[in-house]
Amino acid sequence: MKQYQDLSLKGKFMGRSVSVINDLSTDEQWYLYTKTHALKNAVAQKDDLSHFKINNNNVGAYLVFVEPSTRTKESFLNAVKFHNIKTNIFDATTSSFSKKESYSDTFRMLTTYSPYSLYIIRTKLEGVTRWLDYDLGQFAERMGIQKPSFINGGDGKHEHPTQEILDEYTFLEQNNFNRDYIHIALVGDLFHGRTVHSKADGLNIFKQVDVDLIAPNELAMPPHYKKKMESNGYNIREFASIEEYLAQKKIANIWYFTRLQLERMGEDILQHAERLTKSVTFRQEWIEQMKEGTKFYHPLPRNREYPTIPLFLDKTPLNGWDVQAMNGYYTRAILVGMLGGSLGEDFNGEHLVEKEKKVNYIEEVSTFASVPKEFKIGTKPVENGIVIDHIGKGEDISTIWEHIYKARKILDLNVVSSHGVYKSHKDGQYKGVLSLPELNQFDLVKMKKLSAIAPETTLNIIKDSLVQKKFKIHFPPKIYEFDEISCKNPDCISHPSHSENAMPFFYKTESNTFICKYCDKDHNYKDVWDI
Ligand code: CP
């Protein structure tokens, strides 16, 4: 069934989704910023705007806001109306979400209502658009319809890429579109604030980045985002309060404040709300210390009871947040134009490229078959079978036992065997050994599983008392398609408690931890497993 094939729906960015800022390459982000600049100028000059517009009723935009919003929702609503496309506002409160309908089923149905669909989604659940991009991509292929695009309008405490786009555009405007250098202070609730998490990648539009993180310990930037900033080459400094920050000389000319997300904090943190708020709220006496040209920004909304940017600043030259909020309309109009097909034909930079490298993590190594190595089952040497060696090497004894039990259980090794924790003769470190004399083969799926349960082990296949084959099992680049794994972030779309059937999927980081593909939660490989 190939429906809708004859429609003139084409464009370099159609079918793309933006779940995180890095779903657009740096060149693509720069294209968006230059087009926004052109649109703003054209509006100011009262020029003809028709070449920016989609003007096609076969493109249907759906605004799906399951969490409250003013700016994101209304600026997108105005942006899609600018394009003269079919515009729908999904009412989540009266929808069949209340009858436990899944996101996948809901969007499959909506997708059949227009030849090409563009969704803007805000949820408390994290990673929804990443999941739907995959799932609806498959659905569209089965149905022979055009793959829809998904835009993340903010998902829990994860990311807010279109806020990031408007923020970076605003910083560029302040910098006269010079991308060489930015010095920015991020102030406030850096733990829960998704807009500051998106900065870990979004600031990459600048060649050199100095970022000062100003937050009390309870609201500090999560380590995963700090690591991301470090690997992007940013210079990071940390301060517990504005007071502490101003006690030193190198002060940023761009300050980005965030609201304390009290609604997401547990009771233990909430009892310190006053102290936390005070530490990241600007005070009148500090104005003198601000260099000329300094601007304050805020993704808004401002908490009217505890504003981190107090009202007395509204009418000062420090106010950059009003223009920033206005830029939300222009940047979103351009993003909709790119994904909706009116913009992109003149893009000639580098598109996003999947950077997946082939990794030989199950490495067959030389056995030196002529040199016998004796493994034992109890006191009896293993003549034939499998021996898994170096389990958890270097870890403490109880952790090594945990690895052994986990490996036995997950790999279903209910066979004659022996296992134990031993001290290595070579270096004195402890390691686990598992001897399986009744097994004569260990298939690739099991080896892949082993790599994610007990990485950096050695698997020996023994025949006639000689090691016939030997594999070094390293950290896998991805962990997925196993029944016994799940993301441990309770707010993630793939968390089993939500029954959304999003397949758990983890990518290895440079520091050998595993981040969830949907919500970016960082896991130690041991925590990926449910057993
Ligand atoms: N900045 C922002 O996302 O605002 P809203 O919550 O009002 O959309």
Quick count: other Cβ atoms within 10 Å of Cβ 294? 18
Q: Which residues contact 209 (CB under 8 A, 6 or more apart)?
A: 181, 182, 184, 203, 229, 232, 233, 234, 235
CB 179 within 8 A of CB 172: yes
Q: Which pLDDT value is given to residue 19? A: 98
Q: Which pLDDT value is given to residue 354? A: 76
Q: Which pLDDT value is given to residue 478? A: 96
- Mutate which of 66, 67, 69 for ligand 1? The one with the most ligand atoms within 8 Å of its CB, which is 69
Q: Which pLDDT value is given to residue 10? A: 76
pLDDT tens, position by position, 333-373: 999 999 999 999 999 999 998 767 788 899 998 876 545 56
CA of 72 to the centre of ligand 1 (A): 5
Strand order in the sheet with 430-436: 362-365, 466-473, 457-463, 385-391, 430-436, 418-423
3-state class (DSSP) for residue 259: coil
Angstrom CA distances, 113 to 15, 118, 243, 367, 472, stand at 16, 11, 55, 61, 52
Mean pLDDT by groups of 10 residues along the chain of 531 residues: 51 96 97 98 98 96 97 98 98 94 98 96 98 98 95 95 98 98 97 94 98 96 93 98 98 96 75 90 96 97 92 97 98 98 96 81 78 60 88 92 92 88 88 89 90 94 89 95 96 98 96 95 94 87
Q: Which pLDDT value is given to residue 2? A: 45
Q: What are all long-range contacts of 434-438, with beta carbons under 8 Å and residues at least 24 apart?
A: 434/387, 434/388, 434/391, 434/404, 434/407, 434/408, 435/375, 435/376, 435/377, 435/382, 435/385, 435/386, 435/387, 436/385, 436/386, 436/387, 436/388, 437/377, 437/382, 437/383, 437/384, 437/385, 438/385
Enter the pTM of the model: 0.92
Domain residue ranges of the chain, discontinuous segments joined by +: 21-160+329-340, 172-321, 362-473, 478-528
CA of 300 to the centre of ligand 1 (A): 6
Please, what CATH class does the domain formed by 362-473 belong to? alpha beta
CA of 76 to the centre of ligand 1 (A): 11
- Mutate which of 152, 163, 326, 331 for ligand 1? The one with the most ligand atoms within 8 Å of its CB, which is 163
CA of 160 to the centre of ligand 1 (A): 9
Q: Which pLDDT value is given to residue 373? A: 64
Q: Which pLDDT value is given to residue 113? A: 95
Superfamily, domain 172-321: Aspartate/ornithine carbamoyltransferase (3.40.50.1370)
Q: Are strands 466-473 and 376-377 parallel, antiparallel or unpaired?
A: unpaired
The residue whose CA has the least distance to atom 4 of ligand 1 is 71
What tokens does 468 get? 């016939």
- For residue 68, the ligand 1 atom closest to its alpha carbon is 6
The residue whose CA has the least distance to atom 6 of ligand 1 is 69
- Matching CATH topology for 21-160+329-340 and 172-321? yes
CATH topology of domain 21-160+329-340: Rossmann fold (3.40.50)
CA of 340 to the centre of ligand 1 (A): 23
Q: Which pLDDT value is given to residue 376? A: 61
Please provide the CATH number assigned to the domain covering 478-528. Answer: 2.30.30
- For residue 73, the ligand 1 atom closest to its alpha carbon is 8
Residues with C-beta less than 6 Å from any ligand 1 atom: 69-72, 154, 163, 299-301
What's the CA gap between 37 and 435, in Å, rounded? 66
